[in-house]
Chain A
């Protein structure tokens, strides 16, 4: 094991002496630590007791003739998730990892171009982009004929075609209150007649799937139409999100009933063939997968994308026959497994390893020698601390309260978070939305990440937050000023707490931390009970609106506006922007909202993360998708000969 020597050589002797006993002691007590903390809202995995049975095997009959094309069975891609999948029903999941899986099994009507950056939406199972009426209220989708679901006993040996009705049915499943679909908000109150259907179901306790919803209907076998209450220029993004619009077959859903969550079956490139919950999933190419060829539209000048296109253009998809996904929650075994050749690809290098693996964001010499390839991609995400505007200490719209929040923002050492905790796997955030989304302008920057303890102290002095004899500041009315922050009991959150503590000490503000589980904190923040909490989230759509909606007044308390921020100017700008497609005019409105966010400081925006992925050179064509539900498995290839060579070496 050469790499071990390389990492530990300088310290080897000294370290080995007591590493083993102490680490085993500590490790045993920390065995379950995993959550990517202070960051993406990824709830802990639910574990089902039911032992999964693989999808029923194909019954070879006359009709189900395997299609002429099948990928080389020797091509296997192995990689690991850091967090277990939570389920396989597209509408019920809310985590990134299940979403990745389902993106490969199911088909959304639209998807993103694999190579284009910034992201470009293109038809997936449609013949063309949907027809959108000029008032952005009617969307007509034409499903491509000749797309088939993977084989299943319910289809009785016949090939089951994907039709417009499947999408209508799938959207109705999202509306069914019994399913408590995570994305119901995308349709509720937006599609004409959706609310009536939901209310009727709430009353009767049963959703009527056969009743026609006015704004959601099929025009013919291959055409469906969605009509909106209000103009919705960016509504089409919903049709790239598997959680909102992946097509399921009604027969299969009804066949499995409640157990559908463990039996995914779609028209996508892969089907689940074996599943050990929270441990290992195996996918194999769907024999009924439509004829599709590798293509993409790289942005001119994007050399990496151009190289991929040149190498793979015109290849029949999928190229890899088998995808094996393990769940390795601990970062260290995941990393070691990759270096030892147990995985072909390392999905997201843990930040802790960054200085060892990519010092100065360049690949370490020993990894270069191993011919490992890597790419760093700025995520479409944002980490921020929200301040509850209804809190008596920190909330409010008067200058003294604004000054307090602004001072806190000025005092936070974002640089330390990036340098020490994120190991440079992040960039400071200057806007409340990530670079690379629609509405982001690289020439626009706010002072949201200015660090100046001097300015912060001056501001606090100016607005009457005077220091008491013990050095801690008091409120203007003389009561002690104590911030009560919240975080989960993970090592990562503890580190972030440390940054907050150190930062607030410098400006004389006392801060305390309440520790609780993520779902409990979420509940408390819906109820408006938290003073402040640091959150993070990946974009579900590549539009700044994803984040800006979380500060929209009417969303306070019920939806993601945990800061309970309600400002007339902001709401007006938001409403005006929501009626516009991506345009300079709308970008102006977004910038106004960003400025208001900085001035009133309901959020302290911290960072956007960078993801570093690594893979062995025999994995061809990998490119990290920017939006979580975007499937990439079918676009990668394995050079089997080269893989053999590497296996021999290990």
Chain B
């Protein structure tokens, strides 16, 4: 009592909140993540790659990746001067006698306009581009800069990996949540659906989807990267579904869910507001694994001609090209795509690992 009385003489203390708001789940997670050095470094790396992706999409970086600036398989600059047999020109038919091509004018339907043709041709100037002997990180077979290619390739690969994994996780989590939480007839139906998907070998399933997408005239307009994302998302959700379902079965009967039920939380609220944060670590780990898996799967699709078109580039197509280059000692394309992929994939897995730790309410 006295304390109260004393206080009345002093200026009131800084307005204290009426009741302490405890930090939310996400805020706590962020605090925990900040303490994790590895997590922060990984986050920075991932953000860097994402920025690079945006940069290359908007044309800020690697805009001229398709320009042929160097000789065939130009050496990396730190190896400038090394022997490059691929750039040596061999006279293909050195022994062939020099003969003038035969005159076609007696049978050529274009013959009446030969003079005009020659005149117009003379007006067109052709300039020979000087090609560099060495490039920052070497050149590919057409003499394109491998470093720029890797950056441009990152755009496609990350986009495909990230979005396909995201969609697959969303599909898998939603279906898994419904199946695990509801159980009963709905659960059976979804299990049956899941069984259909898993009974078909993965590659065949991808091909079947690809065939459906490619043959539909409405969908064919989205050929290329969006189609790859869709195909991978629609085929890749099964593993996630299964894991999330088992988590939901476990959690559905837990006390906190019962408590939520008791205070009148709806089914969907219980599923996605109460249980989901508690199983989010599973989803996140799956997400990161699938990003990696889908970056690789894009390779298969590109190889089958269903992936990225011939005039664009992804890490997958770079790795495919690298196959035959390695034998002739040209390792830089493999290195560029391989290192970038390794860094991103490692950073991504470590980040999700940290996120898992940060998000799991059981780990304080």
Contacts and interface: CB of A to CB of B under 8 A. Distances in A.
A453 B100 CA distance: 20
Contact of B101 (A406, A426, A427, A446): A446
Given A8-B329, A22-B338, A419 B117 contact: no
A455 B121 contact: yes
A208 interface: no
A489 B303 contact: yes
Contact of A462 (B92, B120, B296, B306): B120
Interface in A389-437: 397, 399, 402-403, 406, 415-416, 418-421, 424, 426-428, 430
Contacts of A505: 311
Contact of B320 (A15, A26, A419, A445): A26
A352 B141 CA distance: 11
A420 B71 CA distance: 11
Interface string A318-333: 0000000000000110
Given A453-B126, A515-B304, A11 B102 contact: no
Contacts of B338: 18, 22
A600 interface: yes
B339 A18 contact: yes
Interface stretch (B18-26, B82-90, B165-173, B262-270): B82-90
A361 B85 CA distance: 11
Interface string A342-356: 000000000011011
B334 A419 contact: no
A421 B141 CA distance: 8
Interface in B82-125: 82-83, 85-86, 88-90, 92-93, 96-97, 99-102, 104, 107-110, 113, 116-117, 120-121, 123-125
Contact of B117 (A10, A27, A458): A458
Contacts of A418: 92
Nearest to B296: A25
Contacts of B92: 415, 418-419, 424, 426-428
Interface string A446-458: 1100101111011
Interface in B247-281: none
A595 interface: yes
Contacts, number: 180
Contacts of B320: 26, 30, 491, 494
A11 B117 contact: no
Contacts of A501: 310-311
Interface residues of A, number: 79
Contacts of A494: 305, 310, 320
Given A26-B322, A513-B310, A591 B121 contact: no
Given A355-B86, A515-B304, A569 B107 contact: yes
A399 B110 contact: yes
A326 B172 CA distance: 46
A332 B303 contact: no
Interface in A3-33: 7-8, 10-11, 14-15, 18-19, 22-23, 25-27, 29-30, 33
Contacts of A438: none
A445 B335 contact: no
A397 B108 CA distance: 11
B209 to A, nearest CB: 15
Given A356-B85, A419-B72, A502-B142, A442 B121 contact: no
Contact of B110 (A11, A29, A406, A443): A406
Given A352-B327, A418-B92, A14 B104 contact: no
B299 interface: yes
A595 B88 contact: no
Interface of A: 7-8, 10-11, 14-15, 18-19, 22-23, 25-27, 29-30, 33, 331-332, 335, 352-353, 355-356, 359-361, 397, 399, 402-403, 406, 415-416, 418-421, 424, 426-428, 430, 442-447, 450, 452-455, 457-459, 461-462, 487, 489, 491, 494-495, 497-498, 501-502, 505, 512-513, 515, 569, 591-592, 595-596, 598-600
17 contacts: A19-B326, A22-B322, A26-B299, A335-B327, A352-B327, A356-B328, A359-B85, A399-B110, A445-B102, A447-B102, A452-B121, A455-B117, A458-B120, A462-B117, A494-B310, A497-B310, A600-B109
Closest 3 CB pairs of A and B: A515-B305, A458-B120, A447-B101
